[in-house]
Structure 1
Amino acid sequence: MSGDWQHGVCGCFDNCGLCIITYFCPCYTFGKNAEAVGDSCCLCCLCYLIPIADIIAVISVRGKIRNARGISGSCIGDLCIHFFCHLCALVQEAQEIQGTLHRGMAIERE
């Protein structure tokens, strides 16, 4: 795995609209990210509101995005990025998905 994220964690403002939506309603952005990797948007949105389940869900979705794009990383790294900069991580994942879709490639569903 040698790919990199299209946008850095601090690249939130590369898409201000997405950044604002994520700031006010992070469960929506997370649900859409989950839907892009084949998980249920509504179910993941609800999991996002439940402590502990939200941690497992965000790590799972981020891992699926990384694996589909060949981006190096680990579950521990995913946990740390969501712990220290959660909203920025959600935006980064959404931008990765949008960039993939704009290039005409679908993220493989597991």
Structure 2
Amino acid sequence: MSSDWQHGICGCFDNLGICIIAYVVPCYTAGKNAEAVGNSCCLCGLAFFIPIVNICAAVSTRGKLREQKGIDGSCLSDFLTILFCPLCAMVQEAQETQGMGANYMVRE
């Protein structure tokens, strides 16, 4: 069974709190997204600061999230989305993980 993302790639303002946190402290959001799919929050948050490693960690997180939620896509589409719209992709993932019980200390 396949589905789509709950929020579009340009749906940053669907949850303004997550959007602000992602743009001000993106390493925190990257870590929380990773934690929601079973990766290490601290390692992925720190990986955000290391070029190339940050892209690999983000692609891994996005792929695991897609797999868990049954969302259509591929590793290539994840890579291109993260390469060209990294913060928008991060916010989209954060909004998706909120439905999985992730806590960003932001309520709608």
1:59 aligns to 2:66 (yes or no): no
Length-normalised TM-score, structure 2: 0.90
Distance 1:82 1:52 in 2: 12
Show structure 1 runs of 5+ residues with no match.
103-110
Counterpart in 1 of 2:106? Answer: none
Distance 1:42 1:101 in 2: 18
Distance 2:12 2:76 in 1: 22
Counterpart in 2 of 1:73? Answer: 73
Distance 2:34 2:100 in 1: 14
The root-mean-square deviation of aligned C-alpha atoms, in Å, is: 1.2
**1:78 to partner: Cα distance:** 0.4
Show structure 2 runs of 5+ residues with no match.
103-108
Distance 2:29 2:69 in 1: 19
Distance 2:56 2:44 in 1: 10
Counterpart in 2 of 1:32? Answer: 32
Length-normalised TM-score, structure 1: 0.89
Distance 1:40 1:2 in 2: 27
**1:84 to partner: Cα distance:** 1.2
Q: 1:52-99, CA deviations, whole angstroms, 9 ceiling, x for partnerless residues?
A: 111100000000000000001111100111111110100000000102
Aligned residues: 102
Matched residue type, 2:25:
C
